[in-house]
Structure 1
Amino acid sequence: MQSPGIPTNEAERVRVLQELLILDTDPEERYDAITAYCRSRFAVKIALISLVDSNRQWFKSRCGLDASETPRDISFCGHAILGDDILEIPDASDDDRFSDNPLVLGDPNIRFYAGAPLKLSSGHAIGTLCLIHSKPKHLAGEEKRHLKTLAHTVVLEIEGSRAVSELG
């Protein structure tokens, strides 16, 4: 298993994430609606809005998964925040980075993963909107565009919430 790398701007990235005051908050319908839609639209077992903190990935919204967080060192999303585009793993059991990952070998038995980075207007990647399935899968070009658009919608919601709280 390959643990995710650490972004060069990690301290600043984590500070920005913490300043959003979103970590460990209650579920919100506006985020849950997006993950529920993703689960249906992309025909996957799990859809998550994952925020990558220093040592964990915490799920602001989860559809199809009971866990509220997992350690960062085994997270797929920790890898996804390192790039600008969707990280797609068609079959994690055939990928050297993930084949012996506990999330592949055991529950939730990840085979397919696609994570679109949640990049704030400041350029900081704070997490992902991700899709997970227990069978191998591949996203078509149009599906990738939809996932990117939905990830951008999540970012707009997060940044909009911060702007409103700063006004109040």
Structure 2
Amino acid sequence: MRSYPELKNEVERLQSLYELSILDTPPEERFDKITRFAQEYFRCKICLISLVAEDRQWFKSRQGLNVCETPRDISFCTYAIAEEEYLIIPDAHEDFRFAKNPLVTGDPFIRAYAGIIVHSPDGHELGTLCIIHDKPREFSPKDIEMLKNFGEMVEQEFKKGFTPN
């Protein structure tokens, strides 16, 4: 049984994701540069470009995290793409959706999360650019604006396309 929000355009969203031929492609400096800059700017433990597929979230770029994917049913980013623009969680221990999540109760011990939706060139929600802290954190309007700017950079790179493996 699914434990995350159902998206009304899920079939079209997944089709758009798969048509990009981005999943499981090698790391690319153009994306890693964005996540390194965002990690430094926000002084966060983890920064990811996360793409939400049918049963997993896969990381096109990752800073501060050793795994390249996690199951969708424990993904914060799945909740983020169900929002209109972004998802902010100042303290995951205080949020009923995430308090018992294994990514909160275990490694990487997520406490604060901020994710901005990144869209395909045709406008579908592919995933997020997200920042993760291991301590609670408030996010200011300026933080959200900067996160949006980093997300727009990711979208610009998506428009340039990919070379499948």
Instruction: Map Cα deviations across residues 74-133 of structure 1 (whole Å, 9 max, x no partner).
Output: 000000001122200000011111000000000000000000001234221000000001
1:79-118 matches, cutoff 5 A: 79-118=79-118
1:18-29 matches, cutoff 5 A: 18-29=18-29
Q: Distance in 2 between matches of 1:144 and 1:3?
A: 27
TM-score by length of 2: 0.94
Amino acid in structure 1 at the alignment position of 2:56: R
Identity %: 50
Q: Is the 8 A contact 1:4 1:76 kept in 2?
A: no
User: Which runs of 4 or more aligned residues in structure 1 lie more than 3 Å from their structure 2 counterparts after TM superposition?
Assistant: none
State the partner residue of 1:62: 62
1:43-62 matches, cutoff 5 A: 43-62=43-62
Instruction: Map Cα deviations across residues 7-46 of structure 1 (whole Å, 9 max, x no partner).
Output: 1111111011001010000000010011111111001100
State the partner residue of 1:77: 77
State the partner residue of 1:159: 159
Corresponding residue SS for 1:65: coil
Amino acid in structure 1 at the alignment position of 2:13: R
Amino acid in structure 1 at the alignment position of 2:145: R
Deviation, 1:59, is: 0.1
> How many residues are matched?
162
Amino acid in structure 2 at the alignment position of 1:78: T
State the partner residue of 2:126: 126
Corresponding residue SS for 1:98: coil
Q: Distance in 2 between matches of 1:45 and 1:117?
A: 20
Instruction: Map Cα deviations across residues 39-75 of structure 1 (whole Å, 9 max, x no partner).
Output: 1100110000000000000000000000100000000
**Structure 1: where are the runs of 5+ without partners?**
none
Report the RMSD for the aligned CA atoms in angstroms.
Answer: 1.3
